Every structure is written in C-alpha cells, then in structure tokens.
Amino acid sequence: MVCFPNCKINIGLYITSKRSDGYHNIETVFYPVMRLNDVLESVPADETDINLYGKTVEGDKHDNLVWKAYALLKADYPSIPELSVHLLKNIPMGAGMGGGSADGAFMIKLLNDYCKLELTHEVMINYALQLGSDCPFFIENSPQYATGRGEVMQPVGIDLSAYSIQLICPQVHISTAAAFKMITPKPASIDLQKLPELPIEQWKDVVSNDFEAPVFTQHPELASIKEQLYAQGAIYSSMSGSGSTVYGIFYKDEKAMIKTLLQFEEYYI
C-alpha cells in the first residue's frame, strides 16, 4: 500500500501560554500543501524494518515517526503483520512544514486501512498526538484552526486554490525546542477563527507568527527573504511554524526571484 504524506504551512501562529506539562498552548491555522509530498509504502515481509530514501534523515532510522507509529499500533493490535516500510523523503526537514509529523500520521492511516483496524477518527488523532503535537492535524489534513498543543481543531473555511504559494526552504535548521525558549507567551493579537472573513489582502497587517522576531534576529537572511517576497508582489508572506521555511502567497502564476547567500530549495505550488 502506498500513500503520499503532504506538508503544511501555518497561517498565523501565536504562543499564548506555558502549560504545566511543559508544552505550550498555541493558536494557529494549519493549511495543507498537497503538492509537496513524501512517499510512504508498506509491503508484507518476514520482519518489520524501515528503509529511508531521498533526503538524508539524521539519526537512528528507528527514531523515525513512521517506525514509532508502527510500534505504537502494533502494541495494541498484535495482529498487525510484519511489514517492510519504505519512506522517500522529499519534504525538507526542520523547516516548519511538518514533514516528519505527516509521515507518522499517514502511517497510522495506512495501517488502519491496510489492516482493516476500523479505528475511529478520534482514536487515530489520539494515537497521532502521542507521536507529536503537529501529527493530529495530518489525520484531518484540511484547513484547521488549532489550539491547545495543536490537537484541538475546528475546520476553518480557507481556500487558497485560486492563488499560488511559493515556498523558500533555506538550509538552516531551526530547533523547535530552542525557538520556544525564545518566546514570551502572550494572548493572540487576532482571532484566527475569523480569518475567513478577512480579505487575504489585509492579512499582512494583522496576521503574524510569534517565532519570526527571535528567529529573524538570529537569521536575518530569513527576514530578507520575506522582504523580497513582499517587494515582488506577495499578497501575504510568513515563516511557517518555527522555520526556516518562508512562504509567499501570490496571485495565480506570479512569483518572486529570491537572492540570498543561503543555500535554499524552492517549491512553487
């Protein structure tokens, strides 16, 4: 069985409070980007293992969220068979687009379908949350207003299909844990549930990402990329998550020519 985990961008991201469990409460809109995908395949095998291809994934392959998702469900459903898992990494890592989270969540959905586990939506979300805060979104995989750690979600009526999205992914790894330490939590400056009521042309003045100020201070080239996107016609531009991806939303078929000393990958959706 094959599936194609996609990435996401954040439209607005506010860190509103520190929780007693060590996590932070956030408010954000997760928006799926469907045309930038990893490839995840599982086939029957004598012994379960995971094989990684494409972009280099640092560390032990058994720390991968795909492997952890398999182990998590296998512990509760011993009937899940041995599988040879193949993961082709296309989505940049450490870039604020949730590629690893998507892989883990899609593995849960793949096992549910392949093994006919008949898990409810809510059960899959609970499993996904055990893998990471962004993972439950990829069970839904539609525009969502998210609070809590990111797992409390409500559908939000945002459709960017009439626009083009340009993703600039510099080869700068931003540690999410380190980025959170640079944030002083405060109430969100806008109610993102009302974002669909606001013309996209007005987002620039009112929708922001709390991570940008500290991350841009450490990496001013990222701020320059955002400035170039706006200077060349972006309707809205922001860093996604804790970075380092910076995206611009343009009128259809428009895009920017980015100049930076950083090495970067570019995707145009």
**Residue 135 in tokens:** 């993972």
pLDDT the model gives residue 265? 96
pLDDT the model gives residue 94? 84
- Whether the pLDDT of residue 22 is over 90: the answer is no
For the segment 117-124, the average pLDDT, to the nearest whole number, is 96
Instruction: Specify whether the CB–CB gap between 165 and 247 falls below 8 A.
Output: yes
SS3 of residue 195 by DSSP: helix
pLDDT tens digits, one per residue of 40-98 = 999 999 999 999 999 988 888 889 999 999 999 999 999 999 999 999 999 998 899 99
Going by C-alpha positions, the residue among 113, 154, 158, 107 that lies closest to residue 128 is 107
Q: CA angle 59-6-237, nearest 5°?
A: 100
Domains of the chain in start order, with CATH, are 2-155 (3.30.230.10), 163-268 (3.30.70.890)
Instruction: Specify whether the CB–CB gap between 237 and 226 falls below 8 A.
Output: yes
pLDDT the model gives residue 70? 98
Going by C-alpha positions, the residue among 246, 155, 249, 166 that lies closest to residue 209 is 246
**Residue 210 in tokens:** 């709390």
pLDDT tens digits, one per residue of 206-224 = 999 999 999 999 999 999 9
pLDDT band at 250 (very low <50, low <70, confident <90, very high): very high
pLDDT band at 168 (very low <50, low <70, confident <90, very high): very high
pLDDT the model gives residue 182? 87
pLDDT tens digits, one per residue of 172-210 = 888 778 888 889 999 999 999 999 999 999 999 999 999
Q: pTM of the predicted model, to two decimals?
A: 0.95
Which residues are identified as catalytic?
A: 8, 134
With a pLDDT cut of 90, the percent of the chain lying above it is: 91
